[in-house]
Amino acid sequence: MTTHDYEAELQAERQYVDALYARLDEDRARAKDRYAEALRGDIDKQDGSTLVNRDAHVRALGKEVSRLDVADSGLCFGQLESVDGERSYIGRLGLFDNENDYEPLLLDWRAPAARPFYVATAASPEGMKRRRQFHTRGRQVLDFTDEVLGRPDTGERGDAALLAAVNAPRTEGMNDIVATIQAEQDEIIRLEHPGVLIIEGGPGTGKTVVALHRVAYLLYTQRERMERHGVLVIGPSPAFLNHVGRVLPSLGETNVVFMTTGDLVPGLHTTAEDTPEAARAKGSLRMLEVLAAAVADRQRTPAEPLPIRLADVTVQIDAGIAGWAIQEARDAGMPHNDARAVFVDVVTWALTERAIARIGKGWLTRDDKQAWEHLRAELIDELEDHDGFKAALNELWPELTPEALLADLYESPQRLKAAGADESLLRADGRAWTVSDVPLLDELVDLLGGIKPDAAAEKDRQEEAAYAAGVLDLMVAREDLMDDEDHLIAADLIGAEELADRFIEQDNRELAERAAADRDWTYRHVVVDEAQELSEMDWRVLMRRCPARSFTIVGDLAQRRSEAGARSWEAMMAPYVADRWVYRPLTVNYRTPAEIMTVAAAVLAEFAPGIQPPVSVRSCGVQPWSKKVTEDELPAAIAEFAAEEAARDGTSVVIGPPGVPGAVSAALTKGLEFDAVLVVEPDRILADGPRGAAELYVALTRATQRLGVLHHRDLPPSLSGLDLKEA
């Protein structure tokens, strides 16, 4: 193509994309008008059924506005030309010509017809003869690159758009890859598998963003089924979630909840960190036995009989009565707090039987059933208000919260021993929660059950229901005045309890907000990133959150840091999904240049010799370097690096062991990427814990352009390939 022809084509493409944006603006203006009109609806003149429909209509219109809003930047990715000469434009969402039989002006990237844009190659052109990829900024098409298909000799990589994307300076948030998805990635994104998909890939293979685009694809192809329950995305840290959090909204998907494993119990705040020994113990499935034993330990018989002094007689709760009641309660098969009612009933029956026998001695027999039961009722009333009886019940079978039970367990060597727990769990402040405590607290929610609401809370609930019933009565009275037999009465659709729920403010929140606040919420699909770090107990929590067992799991066993983490995907999945999981590797490194990956691969070869590093698709032309300094010179050398990088476009980070000024740990950078990385004191990183080599591997592979290493002691042998930088 001559320069003149290229300029003419570029101008034509710019005009077409401008027309797409004009259509987008028109559609968005109409959607906003409909949304505003729905919000102005006269609520006072609507019955219960109309309110329900109105809420659904408003939410749907709000989502449509949000969907159209995300496309302001990078609306159109490029164009496909078939062997028949037909052209199709591919973009962030679908747009149609409303005046011409709804002909597609722009294909949504998830549509089946758009797939050749990502998978067509020279050897397998998918009926296409050319792929054109746009390079855009905002709404402007800057230029384009053409790749001619169907000619095997030309090779499969004409991905100028891809290389432009990976060479561009990093930003604070992760960019979507929807314009530059590669065939290996697209196959995984569109994989039709109803169970668990495990995506494993080394640094820079795009496994995280592939998983997020898979969610967008599933929400597009299975929207009705997926949207009702939403999607949960689990990441290793808040920083990571902030980094990836814009990808799905940029693709128009908002019914997604982002959490770390530490957020899985709503309202809990983790403030401490476990020792490796404690984390390993808490992550093991053996904790199920420990927790069950800890609960059973709180169901006790008295060492000495407990006297209950009533008005006419004194009775005792002895080991025999308590033991019988405990057994009956356990045999009921209910959670601890729910089974307490059985325990109380048995103890109450036994005590009243003894009391009646003593009070009625000489004048009352069991044959007089009416008198016997009348006396029992009086004694039960007395016991219900008896402080000593309440105290005895609380001592023998207390109502327990997960937090109280676990904190008491951690603070008591005796209770830990009675439960068969590892002594590493002992700590002074039982409520200094760690991330490893979250699955244990979640497990205890099911083991303990709920606590009966107090009288004040129940009274408030009854008042809400009574108010709602009054509203329903008014609706029914009004409907009775209407001579319209076809009009449904509101009471036919909703009851007082349901209407009361509508008056609670949280019910009007968006799905993602409601789901995040509800421990019992179940999701249609769950994405787990850095999954190699999750323990056996973590997986139990996540499986409870997704009964359908629909997961996209992303990880790299070579980067495992946690002692409780995965050593085998099969070992983690088999207890829950048997053979309903598939494994797909990613082998191409799009982020880390070959110069840096060569250095990282040497570290990988030492601690995981059986694992092949991903192959880098590019070089950056800058060799990684090392510089030896004295301990006193270290702060100034770090400041010099920071100043140099501040003068450039892009992002940078200093990674080092604890105590290095201005440095963060490698664990905090997992899943993140930076233009430049400075690794400080690599020998100390290697020596810091059993997974130090994995941490160093993670640190070295965060950089997309430049890597430096500062040290004041000798370099580890695995880093001998670094260029020496003179002081």
Is 201 labeled as ligand-binding?
Answer: yes
- How far apart CA 472 and CA 491 sit, in angstroms, is 6
First to last CA, the chain: 51
- How far apart CA 641 and CA 132 sit, in angstroms, is 40
Helix, strand, coil percentages in the chain from 3-state DSSP, rounded to 5: 50, 15, 35
Partners of 585 in the β-ladder: 200
- How far apart CA 703 and CA 686 sit, in angstroms, is 19
Q: Decide: 415 and 408 in contact? Cβ < 8 Å.
A: yes
Is 470 labeled as ligand-binding?
Answer: no
Query: Edge-to-edge strands of the sheet including 95-97?
Result: 95-97, 103-108, 87-91, 76-82, 128-137, 140-148
The residues near 302 (Cβ < 8 Å, ≥ 6 apart) are 317, 318, 319, 322, 392, 395, 396
How many other C-beta atoms lie within 10 A of the C-beta of residue 610? 6
Is 208 labeled as ligand-binding?
Answer: yes
Cα distances (Å, whole numbers) of residue 570 to 69, 577, 646: 42, 10, 45
Phi, psi for residue 81 in degrees, rounded to 5: -120, 125
SS3 string of 528-547?
Answer: ECCHHHCCHHHHHHHHHHCC
Helix/strand/coil for 147: strand
Q: Decide: 511 and 230 in contact? Cβ < 8 Å.
A: yes
- How far apart CA 564 and CA 436 sit, in angstroms, is 9
Is 202 labeled as ligand-binding?
Answer: yes
The residues near 646 (Cβ < 8 Å, ≥ 6 apart) are 652
The helix (H) or strand (E) run that includes residue 705 is strand 703-711
Is 155 labeled as ligand-binding?
Answer: no
Partners of 106 in the β-ladder: 95
Is 207 labeled as ligand-binding?
Answer: yes
Structure tokens at 550: 């629909």
Is 628 labeled as ligand-binding?
Answer: no
The helix (H) or strand (E) run that includes residue 723 is strand 723-724
Is 221 labeled as ligand-binding?
Answer: no
- How far apart CA 496 and CA 224 sit, in angstroms, is 29
Q: How many residues does the chain have?
A: 727
Q: Which amino acid is at 46?
A: Q
- How far apart CA 180 and CA 162 sit, in angstroms, is 5
Q: For 631, which DSSP code? A: T
Structure tokens at 18: 């401008």
Binding site as annotated, residues for ATP:
201-208
Binding site as annotated, residues:
201-208
